Amino acid sequence: MQAKYMEGDIKLLAKKKKLGRSHLTGWIMLLPALIYLLVWNVYPLVYALYVSFSNLNLTRINAAKFIGFTNYTVLLKDKTFYTAVGNTLLLTVSTIAIELIIGYFIAKLFTAADGVKGTGILRTLFMIPIMVTPLIIGLLWSYILNPTLGVMNYILDLLHLPTLAWFGDPKVALYSILGINVWQWAPFMMLLIIAGLNSIPKDLTEVAQIEGAGFWSRLKNIEAPFIWHVVVLGIFIRVMESLKMFDVVYVTTNGGPGTATELMSLMAYRQSFLYYQTGSGAAVAIIILIISTVIVQMLFKYLWKRDVV
């Protein structure tokens, strides 16, 4: 009897050792990813947080001192900071909403024309704006919307319509940036929604056609359950991209005229690399991170309650 117990204990110990080795192997396999995460994500974040509580200046790096929340309190008293926050949030919300609407209707057209010759080529052409770097897009649109030599004002002039200073008028500049972003990212939403629409069983669409279901009825009861998950993915990605928008605005308006198109990302860049106030720039970057985290958490919580995710 005792021999049986001893044999069972030996097997149990052997099994535990085997499990221990498998766990160790798993950690060894994960080690490169963990090192990458620590070096390229955690360390820069912690360092940026530390810098935001200091008076680090690029012209006198060795003289940096801990100053607590001074950078944050100075920002909260700066009117330009609130303008940058307002412009950033306005662009984020409005561009995503417009991109969803335009992307949905273009996706509907492509799914309706599925199988028609040339549809694949046209769909590829629609995807070009996503594949072009933001810097090139900014340069392209700075030529198109040039007040004297631009194509857009030339067309308006041919139609006997008043021309516009697209980037020079404070009342128009922000909407010009909005239009450029919608042009660039609406195809991304279109692509995701096409994937969602193609996952709808044909039986459901045929039944809806037979029963004469209207547009809103189809959207709510048939399409929404199948496209919501990809739409959520698109919203998450676009929120992150919009909050750190930089290249297009930097090339076209550089935050002007005045502060009409000033964004938080531009402010962080300007504080850090033009005024050399790296501590203040880091504080702006941390605030961008906080705002993006709060928005994503609110969105995720809302969608979780609605059983979308």
Calpha distance 188→106 (Å, rounded):
11
Q: Quick check: 147 pLDDT over 90?
A: yes
- Terminal-residue alpha carbon distance, the chain: 55
Q: Provide DSSP, 226-268.
A: HHHHHHHHHHHHHHHHHHT--HHHHHHTTT-STTTT--HHHHH
Give the pLDDT band of residue 10 (cuts 50, 70, 90): low
Q: Quick check: 5 pLDDT over 60?
A: no
Q: Quick check: 306 pLDDT over 80?
A: no
CATH class of 72-305: mainly alpha
Give the list of residues 6+ apart from residue 291 with CB closer than 8 angstroms, or none.
85, 89, 243, 264
pTM for the model = 0.85
Q: Hey, how many other C-beta atoms are within 10 angstroms of the C-beta on 170?
A: 13
Q: Hey, how many other C-beta atoms are within 10 angstroms of the C-beta on 77?
A: 9
Question: Which pLDDT belongs to residue 102?
Answer: 97
Q: Is 57 helix (H, G, I), strand (E, B) or coil?
A: strand
Q: Quick check: 15 pLDDT over 60?
A: no
In this prediction, residues 17-40 reach a mean pLDDT of 71
Calpha distance 181→245 (Å, rounded):
9
Question: Which pLDDT belongs to residue 301?
Answer: 81
- Max Cα distance, the chain (Å): 104
pLDDT > 70 fraction of the chain, expressed in percent and rounded: 91
Q: For residue range 206-249, list pLDDT tens digits in order.
A: 788 888 778 888 888 888 888 988 898 899 899 989 999 999 99
Q: Where are the domains of the chain?
A: 2-52, 72-305
Q: For residue range 40-60, list pLDDT tens digits in order.
A: 888 888 999 999 999 998 888
Q: Which of 257, 81, 267 is nearest to 171 (CA)?
A: 257
Q: Provide DSSP, 202-218.
A: HHHHHHHHHHT--HHHH
